[in-house]
Chains A and B, each alone.
Chain A
């Protein structure tokens, strides 16, 4: 059995996607693939249990049947956090992780271990990525999300140094994720060669994709709260957010250029709503608890556009949705397929396998 630890420098880098993408690829190659996520800070209640939504999705996608407590042995929810703060946790988290590790590796060729949401996680429960890598001798793959050229260099080198902190050479390599088209040449032509000279294998440079940054209508509805007036398609993809607070002519100019969008506007702005419905719009988020007219609802229904009404004013609604936008989960078949295609095209499998073995 070979373990592969997948970690990231910052949150929302694409760790879950990479873990799942690699897992599926190895499964396709005939390997028996296991998976677990030692530390989870994103608890989610499902069927009366606190689980990790991402981990649960990976588990299901890989067709694994693992009980929740083995999938995520350490779930830091409010109550556990409170106990830790009061010194009353009375648990050896490392032992719990090790036990889960043993169980998860049973009968597997490869065990994918997904790190927490960043390299700075897990210290509170004494199972930081660095400690885990060291204790369990985990070959590690890092995923780094592109933010800018200089951040990229710093992030990758920080990854190298953290993973190597215990003095072992455990870093298999790094994957650079979400590189915008205009930065691609710069990243591939200059940054990657530089990083390779700094002894980091760059195993993939994945282009930024709007579909992957998107959220679904269901996700948006859950985030926004409020009342669903037209259901639309819950799994339809929202790739952009626009606010309709201007004149309808100005709005039309924007709306025509922005595809698969969520339009946030006042419930009384019939003109803006009509303009949105005439362009590529996935959903309308209407604010101020002002009910739109029935004609708008009918047009929305005919076009399959979801309509959600919230009591917030427009600014608050925008803030709420934007906080989550671009950081949404992979849990959507279309997104997953797109990511697998991207991985096939831009991840150096041969080199990865030659290092990972």
Chain B
């Protein structure tokens, strides 16, 4: 897929120029300097010879059909250039030219025009408004970046071209990082993150896929593709614009709503995508994945020549949920025999400040050979006698001999800069051991490896289908639509819940106090009265709920009071009367909700009700549809999950009933995309085996 962008047999550079001030010069120069073995055809109306290559007035004049065309001309000429490519039969085009969607309304129209031309000829497009494309293995560089980065196992796509230039420049400084591919996505008018992930999934030169993204084109499609690809190799994404101010910036860029932070977090998790909060994290994680084997267990060993950094590292590992391994006794014994008395032979292994390279080497050999060790962080502080170069070599040799054989990752943390940078560069270049300047960053790289392993090994979801009455739901929705409403009130929600065979309390809508009393008499006291109005969503806020009414007089008084208050607090609200409902025994209050995210679709919420939701925001999210395993995980993800298991002698709650409710809601919101909001609050959950009852639900339909 998309091979001709990365391994074209020949390339046309439309707008190639002999003038060093032009981008067309920089692109052609990079292409020539990158060592590209194929033919390069500069296209320039003045033809002649550019940088030693014979130029053509149009791609249509080239004797063969190039696989790839790179467009670096002013935007007004882009459509006709694309037409030429189409007529010539060129299937892949990188449009570097700016002046499209990013340039305002007129630009947006131009972009649409260009994409229509591309569609007509079946041309795939990267850009417009981008920096270009690099493949270091082909090798080919058709960007206007300053230089070609070193070869390496990292493929990087960036929605920001400028950020790309910065990263590439940084990679040129040392030999600590190398790239297999770099793509500047630009406006993503055609090719997006989704296409590139798929294209790179089976690329033998790429071990890890990185992306800087401001917004994804199609959330659900992204999730499907990422789920497949992340089983093969890690995908790490920095998603910017997730705070309120950030998402406003994204909206003003795109003109559409950004996905919410929660939706991104849930979707990435479900798709097996690792999320990096910062660019620094992105490359910290990438280095580990790119150059070292994956961390296969959670047991980490630390070898250090100083106490403080060792403790910092221990804290960071534990915080990340990793553990400090306990060595086999043979390892401890060997370490004890060899190391000075003051040293620590237990984990973290402290070889002391006077450790020379040989002591490090010995300790590392023993630790790396211990079967209880899944990964090692080696900390070196540059003390007066520390043999920095030789110690780095010892680390490298251990990684090469034992780490590779046992397939365990070794990360180095040679701290400092001035004295150590040469050794660090050499360690990376000669042995592929990445270095982290501080122990916490090495620990978080291990944590990312662990996270990836868990995400990768997560089974594909197997959604359960419940036998439900979708026709009934459809009928309720139709009725609401016919009324010209979008909010679905309590009594209609009850019908939907019943159609999905979710338990609801006995209840009836009473238009008058007399009807309310009659029904209460029939089902028996005590009862609950709730205002019935499609316009009132938070019933308790307007005094619209009265509980524990034990006789007819109380019911009558409550009815009048509730209707009076509702009319006062929500002027103009349509009031149908009151819902008279059986009074249920106390249970645990749970919230199950759904909000349709602009990016990813139905985002289902779960949490404990009341203050847990409103004050502590202790909730967790999944993008529907999800399966039983994922629903079960949701229950374990909230901070207060112990309450579900029963604390202080309380019996455990009926988790199976919560999971069933979550799965049914997942099915409902998947089957009915017109539902944009849904809340069951509370779902009353009883002790294990006693089920759950949906006490109150509200729904909102899309307005269209």
The residue of chain B having its C-beta at the shortest distance from the C-beta of A296 within the complex is B255
Rounded to whole angstroms, the CA-CA distance of A277 and B254 in the bound complex is: 13
Assess whether A248 is interfacial by the CB under 8 Å rule. Answer: yes
Assess whether B257 is interfacial by the CB under 8 Å rule. Answer: yes
Rounded to whole angstroms, the CA-CA distance of A161 and B320 in the bound complex is: 82
Q: A181-B574, A270-B252, A295-B253 are in contact. Are A257 and B108 (CB under 8 A)?
A: no
- A278–B257 CB distance below 8 A: yes
Rounded to whole angstroms, the CA-CA distance of A277 and B704 in the bound complex is: 12
Q: A259-B703, A271-B251, A294-B104 are in contact. Are A278 and B574 (CB under 8 A)?
A: no
Among A249, A252, A259, A294: residue with most chain B CB under 10 A: A294
- B574–A180 CB distance below 8 A: yes
Q: A248-B247, A269-B248, A295-B255 are in contact. Are A256 and B574 (CB under 8 A)?
A: no
Interface readout for B238-260 with A: 1 if CB under 8 Å, 0 if not?
00000010011101111111101
Rounded to whole angstroms, the CA-CA distance of A182 and B536 in the bound complex is: 13
Assess whether B486 is interfacial by the CB under 8 Å rule. Answer: yes
- B260–A256 CB distance below 8 A: no
- B677–A182 CB distance below 8 A: no
- A257–B252 CB distance below 8 A: no
- A271–B574 CB distance below 8 A: no
Rounded to whole angstroms, the CA-CA distance of A269 and B251 in the bound complex is: 9
- B700–A257 CB distance below 8 A: yes
- B104–A182 CB distance below 8 A: no
Q: Per a CB cutoff under 8 Å, which of B255, B533, B573 touches A270?
A: B255
Q: A259-B486, A269-B248 are in contact. Are A248 and B703 (CB under 8 A)?
A: no
Which residues of the partner chain A approach B248 to less than 8 Å between Cβ atoms? 248, 269-271
Among B105, B106, B256, B676: residue with most chain A CB under 10 A: B256
- B486–A297 CB distance below 8 A: no
The residue of chain A having its C-beta at the shortest distance from the C-beta of B571 within the complex is A180
Assess whether B598 is interfacial by the CB under 8 Å rule. Answer: yes
Interface readout for B480-522 with A: 1 if CB under 8 Å, 0 if not?
0000101100000000000000000000000100000000000
Which residues of the partner chain A approach B695 to less than 8 Å between Cβ atoms? none
Minimum distance in angstroms from A244 CB to a CB of chain B: 12
The A contact surface, by secondary structure, is: helix
Assess whether B575 is interfacial by the CB under 8 Å rule. Answer: yes
In the complex, which residues 539-586 of chain B have their Cβ closer than 8 Å to any Cβ of chain A?
567, 572-576
- A182–B574 CB distance below 8 A: yes
Assess whether A274 is interfacial by the CB under 8 Å rule. Answer: yes
The residue of chain B having its C-beta at the shortest distance from the C-beta of A299 within the complex is B255
Rounded to whole angstroms, the CA-CA distance of A279 and B108 in the bound complex is: 23
Interface readout for A244-284 with B: 1 if CB under 8 Å, 0 if not?
00011100110011010000000011110111011110000
Minimum distance in angstroms from B523 CB to a CB of chain A: 25
Minimum distance in angstroms from B261 CB to a CB of chain A: 10
Assess whether B311 is interfacial by the CB under 8 Å rule. Answer: no
Which residues of the partner chain A approach B574 to less than 8 Å between Cβ atoms? 180-182
Assess whether A198 is interfacial by the CB under 8 Å rule. Answer: no
Assess whether A293 is interfacial by the CB under 8 Å rule. Answer: yes
Minimum distance in angstroms from B252 CB to a CB of chain A: 3
Which residues of the partner chain A approach B253 to less than 8 Å between Cβ atoms? 293, 295
Among A180, A256, A278: residue with most chain B CB under 10 A: A256
Q: Per a CB cutoff under 8 Å, which of B106, B107, B257 touches A275?
A: B257
Which residues of the partner chain A approach B254 to less than 8 Å between Cβ atoms? 274, 295
In the complex, which residues 149-180 of chain A have their Cβ closer than 8 Å to any Cβ of chain B?
180
Assess whether B702 is interfacial by the CB under 8 Å rule. Answer: yes
Minimum distance in angstroms from B3 CB to a CB of chain A: 33
Minimum distance in angstroms from B258 CB to a CB of chain A: 7
- A248–B257 CB distance below 8 A: yes
The residue of chain A having its C-beta at the shortest distance from the C-beta of B104 within the complex is A294
Q: Per a CB cutoff under 8 Å, which of A181, A182, A280, A295 touches B703?
A: A280
Which residues of the partner chain A approach B29 to less than 8 Å between Cβ atoms? none
The residue of chain A having its C-beta at the shortest distance from the C-beta of B109 within the complex is A298
Q: Per a CB cutoff under 8 Å, which of A182, A253, A296, A299 touches B575?
A: A182
In the complex, which residues 253-279 of chain B have their Cβ closer than 8 Å to any Cβ of chain A?
253-258, 260
- A278–B256 CB distance below 8 A: yes
- A295–B486 CB distance below 8 A: no
The residue of chain B having its C-beta at the shortest distance from the C-beta of A301 within the complex is B105
Rounded to whole angstroms, the CA-CA distance of A274 and B248 in the bound complex is: 10
Q: A256-B700, A256-B703, A257-B486 are in contact. Are A278 and B598 (CB under 8 A)?
A: yes
Assess whether B361 is interfacial by the CB under 8 Å rule. Answer: no
- B108–A298 CB distance below 8 A: yes
Q: A271-B248, A299-B255 are in contact. Are A256 and B573 (CB under 8 A)?
A: no
- A274–B104 CB distance below 8 A: no
Q: Per a CB cutoff under 8 Å, which of A180, A253, A256 touches B572?
A: A180
- A248–B244 CB distance below 8 A: yes
The residue of chain A having its C-beta at the shortest distance from the C-beta of B511 within the complex is A185
Q: A271-B247, A294-B108 are in contact. Are A256 and B101 (CB under 8 A)?
A: no
- A274–B484 CB distance below 8 A: no
Minimum distance in angstroms from B695 CB to a CB of chain A: 21
Minimum distance in angstroms from B629 CB to a CB of chain A: 29
Among B487, B567, B703: residue with most chain A CB under 10 A: B703
- A256–B702 CB distance below 8 A: yes
Q: A182-B574, A247-B244, A256-B700 are in contact. Are A271 and B260 (CB under 8 A)?
A: no
Which residues of the partner chain A approach B703 to less than 8 Å between Cβ atoms? 256, 259, 279-280
- A295–B108 CB distance below 8 A: yes
Rounded to whole angstroms, the CA-CA distance of A185 and B511 in the bound complex is: 10
The residue of chain B having its C-beta at the shortest distance from the C-beta of A295 within the complex is B255
Which residues of the partner chain B approach A297 to less than 8 Å between Cβ atoms? 105
Minimum distance in angstroms from A87 CB to a CB of chain B: 45
- B105–A298 CB distance below 8 A: yes
Q: A182-B567, A294-B104 are in contact. Are A299 and B256 (CB under 8 A)?
A: yes
Minimum distance in angstroms from A186 CB to a CB of chain B: 10
Q: A253-B677, A256-B486 are in contact. Are A270 and B575 (CB under 8 A)?
A: no
Rounded to whole angstroms, the CA-CA distance of A320 and B177 in the bound complex is: 61
Q: Per a CB cutoff under 8 Å, which of A247, A253, A298 touches B255?
A: A298
Rounded to whole angstroms, the CA-CA distance of A269 and B249 in the bound complex is: 9
Rounded to whole angstroms, the CA-CA distance of A252 and B257 in the bound complex is: 10
- A274–B677 CB distance below 8 A: no
The residue of chain B having its C-beta at the shortest distance from the C-beta of A255 within the complex is B703
The residue of chain B having its C-beta at the shortest distance from the C-beta of A292 within the complex is B252
Rounded to whole angstroms, the CA-CA distance of A297 and B486 in the bound complex is: 26
- B484–A259 CB distance below 8 A: yes
Rounded to whole angstroms, the CA-CA distance of A310 and B513 in the bound complex is: 50
Which residues of the partner chain B approach A275 to less than 8 Å between Cβ atoms? 257
Which residues of the partner chain A approach B252 to less than 8 Å between Cβ atoms? 268, 270-271, 293, 295-296
- A295–B598 CB distance below 8 A: no
The residue of chain B having its C-beta at the shortest distance from the C-beta of A181 within the complex is B574
| 5 pairs, CB–CB < 8 Å, chain A vs chain B | A273-B251, A278-B257, A278-B598, A294-B106, A295-B101
Beyond the given pairs A180-B572, A257-B700, A295-B105, 9 more chain A to chain B contacts, judged by CB atoms under 8 angstroms and listed by A's residue number, are A185-B511, A269-B248, A271-B251, A274-B255, A293-B252, A293-B253, A296-B255, A298-B108, A298-B255
Which residues of chain B have a CB within 8 Å of any CB of chain A?
101, 104-108, 244, 247-249, 251-258, 260, 484, 486-487, 511, 533, 537, 567, 572-576, 598, 676-677, 700, 702-704
3 smallest beta-carbon distances between A and B, as pairs: A295-B255, A270-B252, A280-B703
